[in-house]
Amino acid sequence: MDFNIMNPLRCHVVNNRNMKSYLDKRRRRLLEYNIAKREMDDCIKKHLHQTDRKYLAAQSQLDSAKLAFHEVDKHIFEWLYILEEYKGDILDSCLQTLKYLQYEFFATSAHSISGVLPARMEFRPMVEMTPEHLEAQVEMALQEAEENQEDDVVTDFSARLIEKLAKDNKNKPGEGLDSAADDGPSVPVDPLSLSSLLSQGFDEGPARQALRKFKNDTQAALDFLIGGGAAEEEAEEAVRMPTTVRRVQRLKERRRAQQARRKDEEDRRKETEVSRREAPTSPASPASPPKKSDPAPAVDLLDFNSDSHNKAAASPAKGADLLDFGSASEAAPAAPAASRGGGDLLDLAGFDEPPPPTDFSKQVETVPLPEQLTLDLSKCEKGPLPGPGGYN
C-alpha cells in the first residue's frame, strides 16, 4: 500500500511544489538541446566524415543534451508519459468497463420488456397478412388512438410503453401489481401482512395484488395464493394472439360452440344415468334350453328365374349390405350424438380451423435430412444384348 500508492503520491506532490524550478531547468535543457542539434546539422551540411573529430564531438554533445532534456521533461509531464506507456492497458480497461455497462443496460431493458410480454407467442398466419385483414387492424388502432387522443406528442419509446401498461391496468382492474381501479377505494398494503406473505415464498407482485383484493386480510390472501387464483386469472392471457377482427370473431364462435357441445354431452350423460337408475329390473326367468332353428331349404344354384336364392341369402340376423348406400343414410340418424361430436372434433378437412400455437419455450424436436443420393451408373442394370440377327 505504501510503496504502490502513497510513495508515488508523495513524489507527485513534491514535483508539483518544485514545478517552477523544473520548468526553468527544462527551458535551459531545451536550449542546450537545440544548440547541439544545430551544430550536428552544420556538420551534416559540410559533409564531414563520421570519423571526423568535429562530427564525433557534435554527436556526443547532442546525445547528452537529449538525455538531460528527457530526464527533466519526465518529471514535469509524468502523467503524460504514464498515459503514453500504458495507453493499451488503459484502453482495454475502458472497453471492458463499457462492455459490462452496455450489457447491464440492455439486459435490464430486455428483462423489463420480457416481464410484461406473455410467456408464449403465436405467429400470425400468412393468410391474415393480406391488405384486407391489415386494413381492419389499422382502423381499430386509429379508432383507439382517436378515443384516447392527448395534446402532447410523446416520441420516447419508454414513455409510450409505460402509458400502454398503465392503460392496460385501467382497462383490466385489479390485474396490475399496484392497480387500484376497482369500484371500491384504494387500500394501502399493510407492510406486516406483505412481509408475512413474502416469508412464505410468494412473489411481491401477486402478494400485493392479493392483499389489495382482500383488504389486507392475510389469511384470505394466503388461501387465494395457495389455491392458484392468480394463475387461473392469468391463464387467459398466456398466449399472445393476433388481433385481427376476423380471427377474434372466429375464436369467440369456436369457444361458444365448445361450451354448447360440453353442455349437451353433460345433459345426455345425466339423462342416461337417470334412465339406468329408474329402469325396472325384470325377474330372473328359469333357464330353458335354446330352440333349434329349422334347417334352411335347399337352394338350386342353377335356377336363375326363381327368387329362392335371394330368400335363402337373407339370414335371420339381417346383415347390413356394405354396398347399400341408401341404408347408410337411414342408419345415420340412429348413430349416437357422441359420435357426431367426435366427428366434428376429428374433422381433418377443417381448413377454417387455425393451427395450434407453437410453444417455443420448450425444445423443438427435429429430424435430420436423409443423405443425398447421386446417380451411380455403375449400379444401374444393363439392357439386353442384341440378337445375332441385329434385332433385340
Residue-wise pLDDT tens digits, 314-327: 444 444 455 554 44
Q: Calculate Rg over the CA atoms of the chain.
A: 48
Number of domains in the chain: 2
pLDDT at 195: 82
**Residue 259 maps to a domain:** yes
- Which residues does 236 contact at the CB level (< 8 Å), separation at least 6? none
**Residue 28 maps to a domain:** yes
**Residue 154 maps to a domain:** no
pLDDT at 353: 62
**Residue 147 maps to a domain:** no
**Residue 58 maps to a domain:** yes
**Residue 30 maps to a domain:** yes
Q: Final residue of a domain: which of 76, 110, 128?
A: 76
Q: Write down the pTM of the prediction.
A: 0.23
User: 214 vs 303, which has greater pLDDT?
Assistant: 214
Question: Which domain covers residue 34, as residue numbers?
Answer: 2-76
pLDDT tens readout for residues 113-170? 877 776 666 667 777 778 887 887 788 778 777 776 655 555 566 777 677 666 555 4
Please answer whether residues 244 and 137 qualify as being in contact, where contact means their C-beta atoms are separated by less than 8 angstroms.
yes
Give which of 244, 242, 248, 213 is closest to 227, Cα–Cα. 213
Q: Final residue of a domain: which of 15, 47, 76?
A: 76
Please answer whether residues 118 and 361 qualify as being in contact, where contact means their C-beta atoms are separated by less than 8 angstroms.
no
**Residue 338 maps to a domain:** no
Q: Final residue of a domain: which of 76, 110, 126?
A: 76
Q: Cβ–Cβ contacts within 10 Å for residue 150, how many?
A: 8
Q: Cβ–Cβ contacts within 10 Å for residue 174, how many?
A: 14
How are beta strands 239-240 and 120-121 bridged, if at all?
Answer: parallel
Task: Please determine, for residue 277, whether its predicted confidence score (pLDDT) is greater than 60.
Answer: yes
**Residue 57 maps to a domain:** yes
Please answer whether residues 206 and 176 qualify as being in contact, where contact means their C-beta atoms are separated by less than 8 angstroms.
no
User: 167: which 3 cell numbers?
Assistant: 392503460
pLDDT tens readout for residues 293-352? 555 555 555 555 554 444 444 444 444 455 554 444 444 444 444 444 444 444 444 555
User: 205 vs 173, which has greater pLDDT?
Assistant: 205
pLDDT at 226: 84
pLDDT tens readout for residues 175-212? 444 444 445 556 778 888 888 888 888 888 888 888 88
